[in-house]
Amino acid sequence: MASGGVKVLGSNYSPFVNRVQIALNLKSVEFEFIHENLNPKSELLLKSNPVHKKIPVLIHDDKCICESSVIVQYIDEAWTGNGLSILPSDPYDRAVARFWAAYYDDKLSPMVKELRSVKEEERAALVERIDEGLGLLEEAFVKCSKGKAYFGGDHIGYIDIVIGSSFGWITAMEKMSGKKLIEEAKTPGLFGWVDKFLSNDAVKDVIPTTEMFLQLLAKMQAKPTAS
């Protein structure tokens, strides 16, 4: 087991891992990134996350914390010194943040993933459901941001991290398919937010560029499948 300090076990292309990197950056916590290629899973991963055997894992002074949303909340609670909170301080605002983060993970994100494999005749209905979800998220953005740049207001907060971390992949998917998921006319708040989030100092060197995602996808498609 890796000893002492702060380590993140993960892959740069995982939005779940990116959540953890962004949260640590926001808190100005230095950490070592240990690349896990998952094929095969390393002994460190199997030891540090024996239940799910998945990335990311945060290793803090030899304690292992798993599951990205649990890790982000841990980071918020373990490093309180620099004055910046990932979750808001008011209990109701905290509940709202947890609600929309869970909505994204449990409802909206699975629908967006389904876009890659949906049958052509079912695509229109799926897109309609996604549009409804994005409409709800737009309303949440307007309420939470109160005219500021992020769901968290002036700075990136919990909803920004949980949802925004997927927008490397989503932007690459938009580029590949030629279809925009977030349209300025339909969800102007979210449309502006995506750019601000991806270019934020805590984010811009964490989430791979669209070009990098497209190269990875091309490489995956070119790989012969095992027989």
Minimum CB separation from a copy of itself for residue 21, in Å?
Answer: 17
Stretch that binds a copy of itself, among 59-67, 174-182, 183-191, 197-205 (CB under 8 A): 59-67
Cα–Cα distances in Å, from 43 out to 3, 38, 53?
15, 10, 10
Listed as own residue / partner, the contacts of 148-157 with beta carbons closer than 8 Å and 24 or more positions apart are 149/193, 149/196, 150/193, 150/196, 150/197, 151/97, 151/100, 151/193, 152/86, 152/88, 155/26, 155/84, 156/22, 156/26, 156/86, 156/197, 156/200, 156/202, 156/203, 157/85, 157/86, 157/87, 157/88, 157/97
User: Which amino acid does the sequence have at 25?
Assistant: N
Q: Does 1 bind a copy of itself (CB under 8 A)?
A: no
Complex with a copy of itself: residue 104 or 169, whichever CB lies closer: 104
Binding mask 114-153 for a copy of itself (x = CB under 8 A): ----------------------x-----------------
- Which residue do the tokens 């937010």 mark? 193
Given candidates 1, 51, 124, 185, which one binds a copy of itself under the rule CB under 8 A?
A: 51
Given candidates 94, 175, 186, 196, which one binds a copy of itself under the rule CB under 8 A?
A: 94
Given candidates 92, 199, 225, 226, which one binds a copy of itself under the rule CB under 8 A?
A: 92
Q: Which residues bind a copy of itself (CB under 8 A)?
A: 51, 60, 63, 65-67, 69-71, 73-74, 77-78, 91-92, 94-95, 98-99, 102-103, 136
